[in-house]
Amino acid sequence: MTVHIGAKPGDIAETVLMPGDPYRAKWAAETFLENAVCVNEVRGMLGFTGSWKGNRVTIHGSGMGMPSLSIYTNELIRDYGAQTLIRIGSAGGMQDDVKVRDIVLAMTASTLSTPSSGIFRELNYAPCANYELLSAAAKAAATRDVDTHVGGIYSSDVFYDERPDLVEQLARHGTLAVEMEAAELYTVAARFGRRALAILTISDHLKTGEALPSDQREKSFGDMVEIALEAAFA
């Protein structure tokens, strides 16, 4: 057990999928895993371990934002031996060709700051995905009827952003989407020599204002979970 995770030794698999919402972790575990068992519910942050095609998998919530994700990522790696960590979450589209329901594979994640920024001091560290996972996810996505984009994203440290000038410049420089966790996930994974990737479903669009209705999210998010599982065990 750790301060934030009540799982016993051996309860957490080496492969961990991390949605922000703990109830999405519950849905994904019940939908895609066999014999899923709840292994954590400390502070309401649910985690489940089961199997997918004979491979042990944990699906564990990360909470919203980089500080929350940093806590769970550090403990999952340091105390439970997680080797592969894949964020499965929603994002806001920033390019005209990135549509609602599309999937984004985050090759890099730009950010103003992360909980790890103090380590680097004046250095602008460039968080990036594990290439092996990224390549496997791209191949898995290519077999599905879903438009997929690979490139850079922006990990914001605020939800209600009041920097339209920054969004404009990010979009101008080809940033595909905005979310709130991937940059810290990539940084922590690199620190410990682990594999990490963020697979994101576009749930809304910053330019058009379009948003995915709640009753249509489940199927779109399902594609993302299956791509993550296939990439993890490719």
Could you give the residue numbers annotated as active site?
204
Strands 34-40 and 103-110: unpaired
**Helices (H), ranges, 94-130:** 117-120
Strand 34-40 and strand 84-93: the pairing is unpaired
Residue whose token pair is 């984009």:
149
Annotated binding-site residue numbers for phosphate: 20, 24, 43, 87-90
Residue 64: strand, helix, or coil: coil
Report the first-to-last Cα separation within the chain, whole angstroms: 30
**Residues 191, 127 contacting (CB under 8 angstroms):** no
Cα 101 to Cα 211: distance, rounded to the nearest angstrom: 9
Q: How far apart are CA 121 and CA 140, in angstroms?
A: 38
Report residue 55: phi and psi, to 5°. -105, 135
88 contacts 19 by C-beta, under 8 angstroms: yes
